[in-house]
Amino acid sequence: MNFTRIKKINISEQIATRLREIILCGEIKPQQKLPPERELAIQFGTNRNTLREALKILESDGLIEIRQGGGIEVLDFASEGKINLLSYIIRHTKDTSMKTRIISDSLNVRSAGLAEISKIAAENRETAQIDKIRDSLERIRGNINTEDHRLVFNLEMNFLKSIVEATNSIVLMWFFNTIREITEDVFEEFEQFWNISDEYCESLEKIYKAIKDGSPERAYRFTREHFERIDKTLFNLFKEVRDAKV
């Protein structure tokens, strides 16, 4: 098996990053057009082939539409953007209003999505999968006094992954992987939030027992309540940090 050498970030990616920030910050509005390729290439001090590579990146993000003979039109990323923009906005955007909205939306989707997953797991679970959920929960309990926030995050993700596996759904696992990436971005911002408490363990225990007992309604309700409570605290923390920077 042969692998090609991994390239360092190239000029086209740097150009794409700069243009992405300009669009996401609203300096260029939807339906407005970017300058022509030739002019952009001159401004960035590069050739048109490199510029076109950058534009293709933005097009795949759902940020622009390249029209043959019609220029480069900026799209409304709120309706045309792709999921990979989430990570960029959470980690890099300077637009605090947009960042607040994206984090809030992401947490709401996480709460609703994981509740549905728990519900399906309660309907489809098998004995071996129930045992795996229990083992994941026990590992969390066994580290209740840890101050290693990354460990807590990984333990939580493993617990949730074991629930997703109990759904026997490939698509839901893909959905969970996206949720994990979003949560990872939030973790990078608020690592200190991830701790284990008795209340936290009791909440997860209720989810586990509902799935074990084959009660979809309880599994849904307990999961939704668990993450709504956590997300409310997390979002308030984010607003405090944001307001302190203003």
| Shared-domain flag, residues 70 and 168 | no
Q: Looking at the domain assignment, is residue 62 inside a domain?
A: yes
H/E stretch holding 73: strand 71-74
State phi, psi for 168 to the nearest 5 degrees. Answer: 60, 35
In 3D space, the residue among 74, 164, 154 whose CA is nearest the CA of residue 125 turns out to be 164
Q: Could you please report the per-residue DSSP string of 143-210?
A: TTT---HHHHHHHHHHHHHHHHHTTT-HHHHHHHHHHHHHHHHHHHH-GGG----HHHHHHHHHHHHH
Task: Spell out, as residue ranges, where the chain has pLDDT lower than 50.
Answer: 3, 6
| Shared-domain flag, residues 170 and 200 | yes
Provide the whole-model pTM. Answer: 0.77
Angle between helices 149-165 and 198-212 (to 10 degrees): 10
CA-to-CA distance for 196 and 58, rounded, in angstroms? 40
Contacts 24+ apart (CB under 8 A), 242-245: 242/96, 242/99, 242/100, 245/96
Determine the residue type at 215: S
User: 74 pairs with which residues across the strands?
Assistant: 64
Query: How is residue 62 written in tokens?
Result: 């759902």
Q: Looking at the domain assignment, is residue 89 inside a domain?
A: no
| Shared-domain flag, residues 47 and 160 | no
| Shared-domain flag, residues 122 and 217 | yes
| Shared-domain flag, residues 129 and 227 | yes
Select from 48, 80, 112 the last residue of a domain. 80
Q: Which residue has the tokens 């990984």?
A: 154
Q: How far is the CA of 60 from the CAs of 16, 51, 63, 85, 220, in angstroms? A: 11, 14, 8, 10, 35
Q: How far is the CA of 145 from the CAs of 8, 135, 196, in angstroms? A: 40, 18, 7
| Shared-domain flag, residues 239 and 216 | yes
Q: Looking at the domain assignment, is residue 4 inside a domain?
A: no
Query: How is residue 178 written in tokens?
Result: 């996206």
In this prediction, residue 6 carries a pLDDT of 46
User: 64 pairs with which residues across the strands?
Assistant: 74
Rounded to a whole number, what is the distance in angstroms from the first to the last CA of the chain? 52
| Shared-domain flag, residues 62 and 141 | no
Q: Looking at the domain assignment, is residue 172 inside a domain?
A: yes
Q: Which domain holds residue 58?
A: 11-80
CA-angle at 235, arms to 176 and 20, nearest 5°: 70
Q: Looking at the domain assignment, is residue 67 inside a domain?
A: yes
State phi, psi for 68 to the nearest 5 degrees. Answer: -60, 115
| CATH number of the domain within which 27 lies | 1.10.10.10
| Shared-domain flag, residues 61 and 104 | no
Q: Looking at the domain assignment, is residue 1 inside a domain?
A: no
| Shared-domain flag, residues 40 and 160 | no
- Total number of domains constituting the chain: 2
| CATH number of the domain within which 214 lies | 1.20.120.530
| Shared-domain flag, residues 158 and 192 | yes
Q: Looking at the domain assignment, is residue 88 inside a domain?
A: no
| Shared-domain flag, residues 72 and 113 | no
Query: How is residue 189 written in tokens?
Result: 């911002």
Select from 80, 108, 127 the last residue of a domain. 80
Q: Looking at the domain assignment, is residue 36 inside a domain?
A: yes
